[in-house]
Structure 1
Amino acid sequence: MNKIAALAFVALAAVSFGPRAGAAAIPVYGYKVVHTYPHDAQAFTEGLFYEDGYLFESTGERGMSTVRKVKLTTGEVVQRLDTPPGYFGEGIVSTGTKLVQLTWQEGIAFVYDKASFRLIGGFRYPGEGWAFTRDAAHIYMSDGTPTIRVLDPASFERTGSIDVTAEGVPLRNINELEWVKGEIYANIWQTDRIARIDPGTGHVVGWIDLKGLMDRSKLADLSDDVLNGIAYDAAHDRLFVTGKRWPSLFEIRLVREPQRP
């Protein structure tokens, strides 16, 4: 999201990635790149998920926001729809025969027919919209705060919330989300880290450190072109990550880093 830089400094000051005195350290995972795929370097990635052999992606920036269906292996956009004019596209999720796209500050989500990408409805919500994911029974929505909203996938009514903490400290700037093996993976905006969140407790149970994944010399705007976008292929246990205007999407395997004394 193209948010003011000051917000990032506030957020980073509010959360520590290291253990507090007397607290058990949160495990840290590194990564191994399994495969690198092409990604549209003009796509300001806000939402991403994998379904039926394709990536579905929502991109941001006013006047440039889109919903896309993308071939994983080639990066080819096989289906695309521009978000209604004036809206800043954010997270995206699939529910039944529908796609739902958040908007950043406008307080409205657009509902599309998944097959045709035709706009068929929408609903309103308070506050900002940052990202979506879902499990079999719920939709999860981030808004930049430490609270993840829980929505009903049919009515889109809010049914609960998850207050996210890392070693007891509220975790801010929770951005793009993905449901992976019973956990919520969350990009932390303006960092190279993904939080692994236990949805039952809201506790961060692991950090994924993706420092060095993308060659920053290939990025035009280091302040905006940050890590954002997580997709999981549950059938083949494949985890994909990318970033805003990144020319590559990476399939990665997690590697547990040794515990530091």
Structure 2
Amino acid sequence: MWAGAAVVVAVGWAATTAANAGPGDATAPVIEPVVLEELAHDPEAFTQGLEIDGAVLYEGTGLAGASQMRELDPSTGAVRREVPMPGNYFGEGITVVGDRIWQLTYRDGVAVEWDTATLSPIREVPLDGEGWGLCFDGERLIRSDGTDRLRFQDPADLTEIGGVDVARDGHALRGLNELECVGGQVWANVWPGDNIVRIDPGTGAVDLVVNASGLRMRGIPPSAQVLNGIAHVQGSEFLLTGKNWPKTFRVQLGR
């Protein structure tokens, strides 16, 4: 009788625990990227945002007075055009919306909208809080600010329309940085390391972790800073690079 009762209690406890489990409580699997190709990357580029749009790879770089919007060749990494960011702003994440690009600033309180054809700034709009990463899921902008919060914003004027808190294995995950929206999910660099996480923006749960620290063994000098650049190529293929990295890696991220 005692053993049976213990089983009942154990089963009841497990059921209660499962019922009370919140988003991000399940242990997220950890994988490593499979490198398919190495491309050149300007080691002077303090990469803050990376995104492919058709035959163009756009890169936003940072540092006050040195920030740029760049157009690159996605197959070689060669710089086609580069334009300084206005206002001596400290540039951050970027994303393409139609024929426009939004570029965040770190602590300058504005976001800059660019024209893709001329690569010229069109307007600036107020930005609440810090700007880190940015992506567009086809309906809304999703923005990180260095905390565990993803903010949802209107692509027309950056009005905040919602958000979600992010958790990995049941714990708040801070340092969310450069973002890439792919197939209803959000990929995020996690500052200040070389991990990338995949997030369900509906729940905030991390369901996959990419340990990309091994990329540093492929010719990335110790002086180079953190991994910070995710651009979706197709399927499970992505381009990954970092701040002041001399290489961009075309990789496959499984699962």
Question: What TM-score, normalized by structure 2, do the two folds share?
Answer: 0.86
2:242 aligns with 243
Q: 1:255, CA displacement in angstroms? A: 4.5
More helix by share: 2
1-side partners of 2:170 and 2:222: how far apart?
A: 36
Q: 1:52, CA displacement in angstroms? A: 1.0
Indicate yes or no: 2:232 matched with 1:232: yes
1:16 aligns with none
Cα RMSD (Å) = 1.6
SS of alignment partner, residue 214 of structure 1: helix
SS of alignment partner, residue 175 of structure 1: strand
- Which residues of structure 2 form unaligned runs of 5+? 1-24
1:109 and 1:123 in contact (8 A); partners too: yes
Q: 1:72, CA displacement in angstroms? A: 1.7
2-side partners of 1:85 and 1:125: how far apart?
A: 15
SS of alignment partner, residue 119 of structure 2: coil
Q: Following superposition of structure 1 onto structure 2, how do residues 1-261 of structure 1 map, counting pairs within 5 Å?
A: 24-215=26-217, 218-219=220-221, 221-222=223-224, 225-234=225-234, 237-255=236-254
2:144 and 2:178 in contact (8 A); partners too: yes
1:40 aligned partner, one-letter code: D
SS of alignment partner, residue 213 of structure 1: helix
Q: Work out the number of aligned pairs and report it.
A: 231
Q: 1:24, CA displacement in angstroms? A: 3.7
Structure 1 residues 98-133: Cα deviation after superposition (integer angstroms, max 9, x where no partner) = 111100011100111111012110111221000100
1-side partners of 2:31 and 2:171: how far apart?
A: 20
Structure 1 residues 113-158: Cα deviation after superposition (integer angstroms, max 9, x where no partner) = 1110121101112210001001111110110011111011123211
The structure having more radius of gyration, on CA atoms, is 2
Indicate how the Cα distance of structure 1 residues 250 and 218 shifts in structure 2: closer, same or farther if over 3 A, else same: closer
1:175 and 1:187 in contact (8 A); partners too: yes
- Which residues of structure 1 form unaligned runs of 5+? 1-22, 257-261
2-side partners of 1:218 and 1:33: how far apart?
A: 14
Question: What TM-score, normalized by structure 1, do the two folds share?
Answer: 0.84
Indicate how the Cα distance of structure 1 residues 220 and 30 shifts in structure 2: closer, same or farther if over 3 A, else same: closer
2-side partners of 1:159 and 1:24: how far apart?
A: 28
Q: 1:159, CA displacement in angstroms? A: 0.7
1:219 and 1:245 in contact (8 A); partners too: no
